[in-house]
Each structure stands twice: as C-alpha cells, then as structure tokens.
Amino acid sequence: MSRLVLLVNPNKVHPPIAPYALDVLTTALEDDGFEVEVLDLTFRRDDWKACLHEYFAERSPMLVGVTVRNTDTVYAFEQRPFVGEHREIITEIRRHTDAPVVGGGIGFSTMPFALVEYFGIDYGVKGPGEKILCELAAAVAEGRDTAGIPGLIRNTARGAVRVPPAVLTVRHGKPQPAEATGQFEPRVWQVDRLSVYRRRSGVPRRVDNLEYYRRGGLGSILTKNGCAYRCSHCVEPDAKGTRYGQRELASVVDEMESLAAQGILDQHTTDSEFNLSIAHAKNLLREIVRRRHADPDNPLNQLRLWVYCQPSPFDEEFADLLAAAGCRGVNVGSDHIRPEVLSGWKVTEKGGTYYTFADTERLVRLCHERGILTMVEALFGMPGETPETVRACVDAFMALDATVTGFSLGLRLFPYTPMGIDIAERCAGVRTVPGLQSNTADGPIVLKPLRMCASPAEYERQFMFDEHGNFRLVCYFSPDLLPDPARAADPAERWHGAVTDLWALIDPADHHRVMLPTVEGMSEHDNNYADNPFLTSLGGLGYTGAFWSHWRGREEIMRKAREAAAQSSHLPTPV
C-alpha cells in the first residue's frame, strides 16, 4: 500500500502566515519512513479547486491531513468564520479521494469534536499532532484498527469520540478517570521535543518558508508547547496542554540557524508566551548568543528576533540576553491595569495573579534602554469593565510611550476557556448572561454546560452555530460599558458606542502610535489581521518584521502602496 501522506493548508487569509505545523508534521512523518507532500492553498486561493484537481489527477495519498489554524477572525466586531470555507475545501478533497481525512491545528483544537462532525472527516487530533498522526499513518498503512490510538478523535456511529490516552489514565499502576473531551490535560506526551523541525524553501510540494517570508515578513519558531497558566479568556492551556513541552535547545537553535541561512532573518516565537518558563527561554537566548560570538559568519548574526511575552517574569538579565540575541521587538499582553479587572482573569493554575502594572512599566523601560521596540496590548470588555476602568487603563498605557499601544474591545468566547465554561454554567440552558453577543443572533444567547449536553460536539457547536446550524459566533462585552446595561440582553446590541467612546479618549496627536478597534466605515485602519490592507501592503512593498513595528509609518506606507498599485495598473499586459 502507498505510504504517501498529503498535508493540506486550507487557509486563504492574507497576509500569509506559514503553516508551521505542517513542517513539524512533515518532519515526524518523514522520520517514521512516510512520504509526505504538502498542498498549500494560501497562494492558490483564487483557483484552489483547480489546484486540488491537478494534484489528485497525479497522486493517490493513503491519508490526508488538514490543518485549521483559525476557526474565525477572533475579532468581536467582525465575527467572520473560516470553517465554512474549510468545509468546502474538505468536501472537494473527499470528492477526489477515498483516503481517510484527519483534522488538527490550534483552531481545530478549540472545538475538535464539533469540527470532526461538521467537516464530515474520519479523525481529529486535539493539541500537538506529530506523534498521534504518525501512529494513525502507520495504522492506515498496515490496515490496522485505529480504535487503540491514544488521543485520536474518531468519527463513529455514536459521533466523534476520543481514545483516552493511557499515559493519563494509568498512574502509579492504578486506573484514573479520563475526561472525554481531553480538556485541560498535559500534552507533553504528544510533542516531539528532540527533533530539528525541517524548514524548507523552494521545494515542490513542501511549505515554502522563504515565499511566506517575502509576502508576510516573518518566519516562525517554537521553543515550547503548552501553557501552565489559566487566563480565563485564553484557549491555549486547553488546546496546547497545561504543562510545558520544552524543546531541546540545540534543536531549536539549529532550526533558527537553518531559517536564517535561507534568508529568513525576522523570526517570531510562536510559544504561548516566550518568557513563561523563563529559565528555558534564557538558556535558549544564551545558545543563540554563543553561536553568534563563536562564528562571525553564522547566519544567526543577522537574526532579528521578535517575541510574545507576559509582563512578568522579565528581569534585567533577560532583557540583556534578548538584546544580545538580536531581539528587535517585544509584544507584551499586559491587557489591563486595574486589579479588580485582572483578578480571576490573568491568573496562574492556582488562581493567583502573576503581575501588576509596575511589571509592564519595567518591561517597557528595560526594552527601550536596550533599543528593543515594544507593543503593549490591552483588552477591554471583560467582566467588571466600566467606562472608568477603560479610561484609567488608557491613561496609564499611553503614559508608557511604548512603540505601539493596541486597544481591543470585546472577546470571542470558546468552549474550553475558563470564561466560556463559567458562562455556560451560569446560563444552565435556561437563561442568557448579560454581555453575550453575536452579530447573527436572532434572540437571546442561551448556552448549556457540557454536563447538560448529549456529547462534546453538541457543547462545542453552540459557540459557533445556532440551533438551526447557522453561524452564530458567540462573543462577550461587559454590559457596564453600555449607557443602559439592561440592553446587554438584546441580540441587536452592538456596543458601537463603546468604540466611539474609546476613540474619544485618545488625543488625535497620538493616533500614529495607537491601534484601536473600529466598526465598518469608521476608519481605514484597524487591528484585525485578516486581509488587512495595511498588512498586505507591507508584504507587497518588501517590509519585514512584526507588522506593528511599522504602524507609526502607516500613512506613508499606504501612500507608497497606492502609488505602486497605480503604476502597475498602467503597465502593458504581457503577450
């Protein structure tokens, strides 16, 4: 039987983001002796059907994997789903092949049971997929039953069900109960922590990392998987795992060196947060610095590193190491300044807060002293948010004088975030919770907790679809941001006034250094990533690095983009 595995990237959103997961999966499958090919539809989004037809006319894979990076824009004022497009692509794949299809990816992992059933696929993987996918590929190649593959989600006559992983169900020789959904499990056992993930450029039917860099301005690097914290809005501890799967330091830096040698000099960490598990992060930076000093010709000497961080831990030694390793920018998710808002939101596994605003002030100062750019982000609209807490946060964040300050409003809710779980419990299937909102809701949003649902798929579906199967992306906004909080139960409420009020708090002279939420027709600039004209212009004009590092110059960049577009429209058509 064929040992060919096809991996498909269905993401049509631009600016393009390289499907890093497919490089990880390709590495694992190749190491296990499988032939692997990648079909990347990001650069064929206008003729993706022809792309699929061309491929399957020549090739017959035994297994097809589809990665879902995002279920939607996760932007509360747009609420644009992607899974409908993904299902259309998967349906077309099924038309061309009888090979089983398996889904995975970080977006997929936020609601894997519902998506296995919605896509009509055979299998799914929640969390890191490299080890489970290799076991699945081996079973398919050998004609074995897949019912014993730990962690695999199978589409059965009873719906989507998960094979409990033995590593979690037997401890000290005694059986332990396994959560049917796999929620809030440590997933270190799913991670390949030793390999150097092979990153390629210009190789047919592989991820073309250099092309992504040319069009999107960044390469990606993972130093560890998972997150041990429990921030109430965040999907990552559940989707990626509640313990850190730290990769071998030499393997990570070998991978970074390989990317730099290919000309991919701007590299961004994709960890949940780079500075959590700070000792591992410091040791990684030390290895980069060691190699830079040991060999002047090492491509890491040209590295421009960009990282996500939390405000703490972040000390002078860490800042020095970042600077020495070539870090150009730190994006810090500070989110707020008010303790009463952060309490119960930005917390550790045990429920304690782990930073104050003084930590954010210190981080910005340490970075600026070393010439490192900073973006500080705030998220408004969580429970307890009022116009007064918004004003206090805006004033404090603007006083930081970060390179860029980003303000977001409203939260997309997902099934297994602590906040999503809590609100479903409060609804209890019989009432709404003030603040629940969806642009397509035709009545009050009433959720059911998992214990009241017939299956995990039923529980997950209600965060994406209404009872008729129509898209209804569930979001949350603090009702106290409305002039009349009683309107928070009205499905027609849009919180647009809160956006206008937020803009009014910013001096127009500071607009060049601020990202603000927008509603349609309000401004040509917003901080939504998907198909953003400013971001796509950056790639077209050859800018590299984190997009926010160019935000202050966006007026000039957009002018150049318009001039380039006008010039190209006057070029003669090739014969």
SS3 annotation, 301-361: HHCEEEEEECCCCCCHHHHHHHHHCCEEEEEEEEECCCHHHHCCCCECCCCCECCCHHHHH
Encode pLDDT of 211-265 as tens digits.
Answer: 999 999 999 999 999 999 999 999 999 999 999 999 999 999 999 999 999 999 9
pLDDT in the model for residue 396:
98
Single-letter residue type at 259: L
Residue ranges of E strands in 523-571: none
User: Domain boundaries in the chain?
Assistant: 4-166+176-190, 217-411, 418-481
CATH fold of the domain at 4-166+176-190:
Rossmann fold (3.40.50)
Q: Do domains 4-166+176-190 and 217-411 have the same CATH topology?
A: no
Q: Which residues of 328-364 are buried (b: 16+ CB within 10 A; e: fewer)?
A: bbbbbbbbbbbeebbebbbbeeeeeebbebebbbbbb
**Using the 8-state DSSP alphabet, how is residue 29 labeled?**
H
Is the model's pLDDT at 169 over the cut of 60? no
pLDDT > 70 fraction of the chain, expressed in percent and rounded: 95
Is the model's pLDDT at 171 over the cut of 60? no
Residues contacting residue 513 through CB under 8 Å, at least 6 positions apart:
402, 403, 404, 405, 551, 552
pLDDT band of residue 496 (cuts 50, 70, 90) is very high
Encode pLDDT of 462-486 as tens digits.
Answer: 999 999 999 999 999 999 999 988 8
Provide DSSP, 466-504.
Answer: -TTS-B---EE--GGGSSSGGGGG-TT---HHHHHHHHH
Global pTM reads 0.95
Q: For residue 373, what is the enclosing H or E element?
A: strand 373-380
Beta bridge partners of 103: 66, 124
**Which strands sit side by side in the sheet containing 266-269, from one edge to the other?**
219-221, 266-269, 304-309, 327-335, 373-380, 404-409, 514-515
pLDDT band of residue 179 (cuts 50, 70, 90) is confident
pLDDT in the model for residue 558:
92
Residues contacting residue 344 through CB under 8 Å, at least 6 positions apart:
232, 351
pLDDT in the model for residue 486:
85
pLDDT in the model for residue 286:
98
Identify the CATH assignment for 217-411 out of 3.80.30.20, 3.40.1190.20, 3.30.420.40, 3.40.50.300. 3.80.30.20
